[in-house]
Each structure stands twice: as C-alpha cells, then as structure tokens.
Structure 1
C-alpha cells in the first residue's frame, strides 16, 4: 500500500474523521443515532453514495465546466440517493420509514459534497473512491458508537429495531445489556445526542493529547531509530 493510500485511510478514520474532528453532517449524526441499527443503516447508505459519487466525479472531472461543477455534483449525488431510496423502499420498507427524511438529505449532506469538491474533483479515481469510503466509514463508526452509547443508556439494549431490516425473526437477536432496565429518556432525546458526541470528541482529544505528550517526552510513540 502506498504512503498516500495509508494517509487517506488514517485521515478518514481518525485524523480528519468527519464526525468528531471536522464536525460535518451533524444533523443526521445527532438525529438518527438513537440506536445502533438506525445509525449503521444511515452510515452505510451515506458511504455508498459518497464512494460512487466520488468515483463518478473523478472520472468526468475533466469534462465539467468549473462554473457548473457544484450543480452537477449535486445532480450526481441526488441521482445516487434516489437509487438508494428506491432500493430501501423495495426491500427494507420498515427501516426506510424509520430513517425518513434523512435519506434524501444525504443529497445535501456537507460531508458528501465536501469530499466530492475538495478531493474527488482533483484526484485520481482510485484515491477518490478510497477517500470517500474511509470518510464514510469514519462517519459510520462515530454513528455506531454514539448509537450504542445512547441505546444502552436509554434502553439497556443493543440492536433493537433489527427486525426492521431482517424481519420479525430478528427480534430474538436483540442483546439485553442491562436486564430489567427502566431506561433513561434523556439518552434517546436530542440532548443525549449532544452529550454523547461531546464525550466522543473529548475522548479523542484525550488520546491525541496523550500521544502528543509521549512524542514530546521521547516515549514509545516518539522514539526514532
């Protein structure tokens, strides 16, 4: 793997994570992360749209007039979002209904448009797709962790709502992390989303601070051969 590819992966998953570093796409991130299933579904849908849109833009970027690039980028993204919506409507209707307006809002998600404009319109197709996938997975990771935190605190379970994607049989797959838990309503309301995201940002900053201190002190992370 080339150094550039490694840097793209590190940026998407950690250094420039769109959820806890760039703080992009906060509307769906905070609104839909009340449980793991919703968070994972929206994260994967966003990743798919980002990857295909970035690849498409990288291929045709030489033919797009500079003045018309933003409307054309939005048109490409909107077409892909429509395909994802129709597929979910056809095969996972219940989950489609739960995600609601946040599926079409992927079209105007600042993460998707930002990566298409800042990266895919200037780089090779392979690196553009890799960047989109890593940024999408970075966002999905934050969504899932935040969803897990809120679901455990709010309901004492994990994977509730899995039946929306896999049918009634999946109701038995729900994990009851805290049996006979009465729940904490605050965790699944909007304030819980802000508190959870704040904790994730603080945790990342704490890890980065430890790494910086070790590097400055010549510790294991700062030693050179």
Structure 2
C-alpha cells in the first residue's frame, strides 16, 4: 500500500529536517489500514486543517465525513482516526478505507480514501417451488441498487424468511451469496431456498382450563 510523503513541519514540531512518523497498523476485516502517528508532544497541539475524500462514486461525500466523525478544527488524535475508520466500515458501503495524514505547517490535513463495495445488479432464486420468483422478487423490491455487503445479505435472508412464515412455511431455510455480474462493479444476489413442507394448524388444545370450557 503506498504511503504518502510528509513534508518537514514547522514549530511546535521538533526542528528536524524530516519527521519520522510511526505507522500504526490496524486490520479491519480483510483490509489493512496504515495510519501515520505523530510524536505524542506534537499531537497535543496539532489540529485538523482540512478533510478531503477520494474514491467515492455513488456515496455522498458528506456521508463519509459524517461517518468519520472528525471535524475541521478538531485536535488530531490517531485513536479518533482509527475509530472513524471502523465506523466507516460499519456503514457496509466500502471494501477498503484508508486515511492519510499530511503535515501542513502546524496543522494536519486528512485524506480519506475509500473503495466502494460493488452494487447488486440482479437478484436470482434457486430452490423455490411453492412460491414463484415474482413473489419473492416483490419482497426484495429495491435490492437491485443496494451495496453487495453483509447487511444486504442479512436483510434479504430475513425478508424471505418472514415471507415464507407468512405463507405457511416456518421451516424454510434461506441463504444469500454474491456472484459476479456483467460488469466488475456488479454483483448478483443469489438466494438459495429450501422451502420444506407447508405447516397447517388443524387443532388447538387447551390444558389447565378447569373453569372455562374449550
């Protein structure tokens, strides 16, 4: 992963020609994020001068800024940056998040680089016999534009499980996975279904009702 060069800072940083920043290595999911960490003394006085967002395609830049939860003028704290990176991953919109810190005089500029998750371009069903694909697809209306992330999978499984329960199939098992779509940024949401047998209530028996007749 490329590392952004850091210019020589002015006071109150140490008066050396080059600041050797430590690299705090954190691993979130399958991605590795490198965060420059300034010396402890410098961190106490350093404030964030600017925040730039790179790599967004369909996600609003403001959403990235709000997710990072760091404002221009805040004190620069590596721990806050790490927390912001984790928060951005929890949005389930990005496959990779990287934050570079650039020294700008006695301030810091943060550059947030994101790689968006692919988008669902189609939904397919296998194993459904009692409920047709149109009925299932109606339950998943709007999923064609969602990000191909874990939250989308969980929501789709929950929605179809609910539908099958309503239709009398409480034993149905539903799973979701992604397969490549026609373009590199596309994913097909594949729903695999084991419907099981329809369950019908034929009788209700009450026990312990000594005073009230069935």
Tell me which interval the TM-score lies in, with the shorter structure as reference length: under 0.3
**Please, what TM-score do these two structures have when normalized by structure 2?**
0.28
**Please, what TM-score do these two structures have when normalized by structure 1?**
0.27
Q: Which has the higher strand share?
A: 2
